[in-house]
Amino acid sequence: MLDEAGLSDFGELRQAITRRQHDLYFVAFDLLHLNGHDLRDMTLEERREILSSMIEPGGRIQFSEPLPGEANAIYHLFDQAGLEGMVSKRRDSKYRSGPSTNWLKTKCYAIDEYELLGVEREAGKPAFALMADSGDRQVCRLGLYQFQACNP
């Protein structure tokens, strides 16, 4: 699901899955099996060529078009647009399960400074840092591995 600016909106996606399935589109980017044939030994470029030939333009299933260009420039565009990140793939790579240097996921991060208000600790649970943005006094709770909540 996309918001008004054309960016992914996961909250809208959750609602559409349960309430508005007619608004959903599937964006396909790879094809691993076709009619009982394993395509994983073909290159990504070959698999995507087959996939694109199978998808009719304008339908509920859409083909994920590649973004040609220099990866750093594309990353900065994604970062400025507020997107989560990007996945870069070698066109000549064959599909292999598990981590690989042929497919890289690069996340966009925001770095900011906060005032530390305190730390919450409870036996057997991860610690949380309580922080505030000095500009608008937004109080946040940051866990050891995940961002928990942000309440104005």
pLDDT above 80 for 134:
no
**137 CB burial (10 A radius; 0-12, 13-18, 19+):** exposed
Binned at pLDDT 50, 70 and 90, residue 146 comes out as: very low
What CATH number matches the domain at 10-107, 3.30.470.30, 3.20.20.140, 1.10.30.50, 3.30.1370.60?
3.30.470.30
pLDDT at 43: 98
Share of the chain above pLDDT 90, in %: 30
Which of 146, 145, 151 is CA-nearest to residue 131?
151
Residues, the chain, total? Answer: 152
Q: Does the predicted TM-score (pTM) go above 0.75? A: no
Higher-pLDDT residue of 122, 106? 106
pLDDT at 40: 97
Higher-pLDDT residue of 60, 111? 60
Binned at pLDDT 50, 70 and 90, residue 82 comes out as: confident
Higher-pLDDT residue of 51, 150? 51
